[in-house]
Amino acid sequence: MSYGFQCWNDGQVYQIDGETVNLVHSQTIKSATAAGSLELGRSNAGKQYTVSANTVTVTVSATTPLFVLYCPARPAAIMKTTNPSAGTWQVVVWTADGVADFELHVFDKASAAAAPTGGYGLQVFSSSGELVFNSNQRLARVVGFASGNIVNASAGWGQWQPPSDYSATLNWSVSKVGVAAMITPFVGSVTDSTAANGWYRTQGWACNGGQAVRYWRNKSVGGYAVPGSETVFGSQFDWGVMFVDLSFL
């Protein structure tokens, strides 16, 4: 860059740049899921099909948010985010095997987050005068990534036989870790549009301290049997997640 401020760490990765947006912690929302429904698919005639599940929709005021989920009691996932109007976001959170309390941590650009108190530290502004870094704000510290495909499938159409329920554990050297930027695999079907009978398969993460446990779940609704295989696009089994340090927030 020909002007402004830059800062690198000892690994030669830049940490602050006068023209780059930094995401900082702007708010923590505590909520809980309740008995509700998840959208599956919509027919060619416009009919929406759903299935019963434990969900909640959280409304957030933010500009360019990164949502980080922390749920120690049960596997949880962000199933959908929408931006219905400028500055307003809606986040659909799901939990497995019952309802649960969770924390939704919101990171946003420095100029959109609440100004920190205290008259000390370093501030960096872009050439247009926008605040892009403030040393009194907590940056989103990414500690790792993980991704894959449940059945090791290609993206194309085919018949796949997913595994039954299982879990896998990742440990991070932080006191509290959350999951963000989630690609959540989701496959399911219903026998009617009332959410009373059907099934779905999906994945969630239970985070407790620095440990994140990944669960894959087969869920039956109304006693309807989960089939052994299904014919869908293999990309429906893709999953991915980013891990963010939530210590001391």
The pLDDT value recorded for residue 121 is: 76
- Asked, for residue 159, whether it belongs to a domain, the answer is yes
Are the beta carbons of 149 and 238 closer than 8 angstroms? yes
Whether the Cβ atoms of residue 186 and residue 201 lie closer than 8 Å to each other: yes
Q: Answer whether 0.85 is exceeded by the pTM.
A: yes
Give the integer Cα–Cα distance in Å for 163 and 166: 8
Average pLDDT over residues 5-25: 74
Residue 102, domain member (yes or no): no
In a domain, 211, yes or no: yes
Q: Which of 84, 22, 21 is nearest to 57 (CA)?
A: 84
In the numeric block, the tokens 């869908």 are attached to 232
Residue 8 pLDDT: 76
Residue 113 has pLDDT above 80, yes or no: no
- Residue 46 inside a domain? The answer is no
Q: What is the average per-residue pLDDT within 229-234?
A: 91
The answer as to whether 42 is a domain residue is no
Asked whether the predicted pLDDT for residue 118 surpasses 70, the reply is no
How does pLDDT run across 90-105, given as a tens digit for each residue? 999 999 999 999 999 9
53 assigned to some structural domain: no
Whether 154 is in a domain gets the answer yes
What is the count of structural domains for the chain? 1
Of all residues in the chain, the percent with pLDDT exceeding 90 is 57
The per-residue pLDDT for range 120-163, each reduced to its tens digit, is: 777 777 777 777 777 777 888 899 999 999 999 989 999 999 98
Nearest one of 192, 201, 191, 198 to 223, comparing CA atoms:
198
Assess if residue 2 is contained within a domain: no
Q: pLDDT tens-digit profile of 164-189?
A: 888 999 999 999 999 999 999 999 88
Backbone angles phi, psi at 133, to 5 degrees: -155, 135
> Can you give the residue range of the structural domain that contains 226?
142-245
CA pair distance 224, 205, nearest whole angstrom: 25
Tell me which residue of 174, 101, 102 sits closest to 141, measured CA to CA.
174
H and E: helices and strands count for the chain:
0, 20
Question: pLDDT confidence of 44, banded at 50, 70, 90?
Answer: confident
Say if residues 87 and 61 touch (Cβ distance below 8 Å): yes
* CA neighbor of 30 nearest in space, from 54, 58, 3, 1: 58
